Amino acid sequence: MNQEKGSKKYKLIVIGAGMAGLSTGITWAINNELNKDPVLLIEKQPKTGGFVTSYEREGFVFDTCQVIPNISEILDYLGIEIELKKFKGYYMRILVVNPETDDVKVLELPSGLDNFKKKLMDQYPDNGSQIEEFLDYSREMYLELFNLKVEPKFIDILKLLFTCPKIIKNSSKTFKNYFEQFGITEPDVIEIFNIFADFSALPSEQVTALVPISAMNSLLDGAYRTKKGFIDFTNKLQERYENLGGELLLKTEVTKILVEDNQVKGVQLKSGEKIYSDYVVTTVDTMLAMKQLVGLEKIRSIDKKYANKIESIKMSTSSINVSLGLDDKLDLAGLGMDCGYNVITTGGDTYDRLFDDYEKGKIGFSDKRFQVGVICPSLTTGGQPNITIRVSPMGLGDWAKLRENDRPKYQEEKQKWGDFFINIVEKYLIPDLRRHILISDISTPATYARYSSSPTGSIFDMAPYTNNFGRTRLKMRTPIKGLFQPKFVHGVFGSLLAGIQVNDMILNRKIMNGNARLKI
């Protein structure tokens, strides 16, 4: 495979300009002389940001992304300043509905670990010591993450026995197994902690314990959203990347990752053009990258184990999002909507059973079993009043086929489910909601699949089952020399961090000394 004469060769090509791609590009630009080692970011959409974006409909601006934990160290490292609102008071409310009586119990989760602990211990004194033990132990386990190495050497593994004992002890446990050790029996408390498992897009009986523990601790350290919409964040990242001298191609789709003699050579575009580089970092959906852009058989011929691992991986779920533009007659703040996240749920094992149906390819939501997130971005951005209803688990099922082959039926299904979720919010959270709706915009799993090219419409990449996490996860360093895939579940924080980690890997631990986290 010879370099075409006269064409520019890059040191690094990054496929996809979402959070992970932008972070990879900026970190590269900070740590290299770009006139010698240039970097090129290639994005198929006309704009950067991937899943983190804002879009306008008839004067209403909607965000895809809703709430992020404290990412200040990452922002400092990347050299980005954005205006963020930190949720004070409570950052989450859980409305537990009894579907037989329609009674609603409201559980408020205050911000800050100490406030949270005190409130729970005061409110549920019979479980006080168990709650304290669970939160303290989990905090210590979360802090151990800062001692982990991404690619531990032999000596690192030995050290882990002393620096990360709790992580080692619990590494193969699901959140349910882990939680049960503490003997908490109070149903409300179980409800509260299980929500963090659901936030990880897997039920508590399947998700690896460390993911909900990290989500809980990082959100307790601060839950935020951008004051100018999430597009502001994306724009700042792109601006920083370009100011540092990084190059960007928009509306350009990569169709192939070029490999020769077990070494990455660059990429091929939909136009047929080839662009060459020493390193390629792919930040697109893992299955798309490994199965379509590289090809599983090629990987298998180099490393059978890695290929088998790819085949065993389950991706995360997709989602339905209902964004509603409202008139200004609703007192959204008075309804308590000025918090990061509201969850309306029928409680107990709701998410687990919805997930069972999702795994069977069915939609299990009904009047008696549901769980939805409701967020009010306009109380932060000050824009036209709006709310977003966010629903998971949701599989791709027939959504994409329907959209492709029978548009009226697709619209009908989309509206049916949109109405179903609006009814739940109207019944249990925002009375008379329907009378105030001026416009609605519903995205389905087909929307996410089309936008990101994820074959499963997954919104959180690989799902964090116990058999694909920590040391057992699909490695960022692929068996093809020079090809990396810094992808994993976790949302904005994880994607930004992964961009820094992959540079650390390429640059021989120059940035983070091989650590899994930036130091706090």
Ligand X SMILES: Cc1cc2nc3c(=O)[nH]c(=O)nc-3n(C[C@H](O)[C@H](O)[C@H](O)COP(=O)(O)OP(=O)(O)OC[C@H]3O[C@@H](n4cnc5c(N)ncnc54)[C@H](O)[C@@H]3O)c2cc1C
φ, ψ dihedrals at 12, nearest 5°: -135, 130
Query: According to CB under 6 A, which one of 13, 41, 43, 413 is a site residue for ligand X?
Result: 43
**65 touches ligand X by CB under 6 A:** yes
Tokens linked to 207: 């998700």
Q: Segment near ligand X (CB under 6 A), from 19-27, 103-111, 167-175, 403-411?
A: 19-27
Question: What distances in angstroms separate CA 388 from CA 32, 60, 63, 484, one per listed residue?
Answer: 41, 12, 8, 35
458, 316 Cβ separation under 8 angstroms: yes
Contacts with ligand X, 235-264, as mask; x by CB under 6 A? ------------------xx----------
Q: According to DSSP H, which parts of 373-435 are helical? A: 378-381, 399-405, 407-428
**460 touches ligand X by CB under 6 A:** yes
**449 touches ligand X by CB under 6 A:** no
Q: Compare residues 92 and 164 and give the one whose CB is closer to ligand X.
A: 92
Other Cβ atoms closer than 10 A to 412: 11
**28 touches ligand X by CB under 6 A:** no
Q: Segment near ligand X (CB under 6 A), from 37-45, 109-117, 214-222, 468-476?
A: 37-45
Q: Compare residues 21 and 222 and give the one whose CB is closer to ligand X.
A: 21
Q: How far apart are CA 191 and CA 347, in angstroms?
A: 7
Q: Segment near ligand X (CB under 6 A), from 157-165, 364-372, 448-456, 467-475?
A: 448-456
**Phi-psi label, residue 361: left if phi above 0, alpha if psi -120 to 50, beta otherwise:** left
Instruction: Please give the size of the binding site for ligand X, defined by CB under 6 A.
Output: 35
Query: According to CB under 6 A, which one of 12, 21, 238, 378 is a site residue for ligand X?
Result: 21
Query: According to CB under 6 A, which one of 27, 32, 66, 346 is a site residue for ligand X?
Result: 66
Q: How far apart are CA 245 and CA 239, in angstroms?
A: 10
Tell me the closest approach of the beta carbon of residue 66 to ligand X, in angstroms.
4
**51 touches ligand X by CB under 6 A:** yes
Q: How far apart are CA 2 and CA 498, in angstroms?
A: 31
Q: Segment near ligand X (CB under 6 A), from 49-57, 110-118, 163-171, 430-438?
A: 49-57
Amino acid at 470: G
**389 touches ligand X by CB under 6 A:** no
Strand partners, 81: none
Other Cβ atoms closer than 10 A to 59: 10
Residues in the chain: 520
**386 touches ligand X by CB under 6 A:** no
**365 touches ligand X by CB under 6 A:** no
**84 touches ligand X by CB under 6 A:** no
Query: According to CB under 6 A, which one of 10, 14, 32, 50 is a site residue for ligand X?
Result: 50
Angle at 63 between CA 57 and CA 65, to 5 degrees: 155
**68 touches ligand X by CB under 6 A:** yes
**45 touches ligand X by CB under 6 A:** yes
Query: According to CB under 6 A, which one of 12, 13, 14, 20 is a site residue for ligand X?
Result: 20
Q: How far apart are CA 459 and CA 452, in angstroms?
A: 9
What long-range pairs does 508-517 form, CB within 8 A, spacing at least 24? 510/31, 511/27, 511/31, 514/149, 514/150, 514/151, 514/152, 514/156, 515/146, 515/147, 515/148, 515/149, 515/150, 516/145, 516/146, 516/148, 516/149, 516/150, 517/145, 517/146, 517/148
Angle at 296 between CA 10 and CA 150, to 5 degrees: 65
Q: Segment near ligand X (CB under 6 A), from 26-34, 425-433, 434-442, 484-492?
A: 484-492
Q: Compare residues 65 and 258 and give the one whose CB is closer to ligand X.
A: 65
Q: How far apart are CA 76 and CA 364, in angstroms?
A: 43
Tell me the closest approach of the beta carbon of residue 50 to ligand X, in angstroms.
2
**453 touches ligand X by CB under 6 A:** yes
**321 touches ligand X by CB under 6 A:** yes
**492 touches ligand X by CB under 6 A:** yes
Tell me the closest approach of the beta carbon of residue 19 to ligand X, in angstroms.
4
Other Cβ atoms closer than 10 A to 438: 15
Query: According to CB under 6 A, which one of 13, 14, 15, 207 is a site residue for ligand X?
Result: 15
Point out which residues bind ligand X (CB under 6 A).
Answer: 15-21, 42-45, 50-52, 64-68, 253-254, 283-284, 319, 321, 448, 452-453, 459-460, 487, 491-493, 495
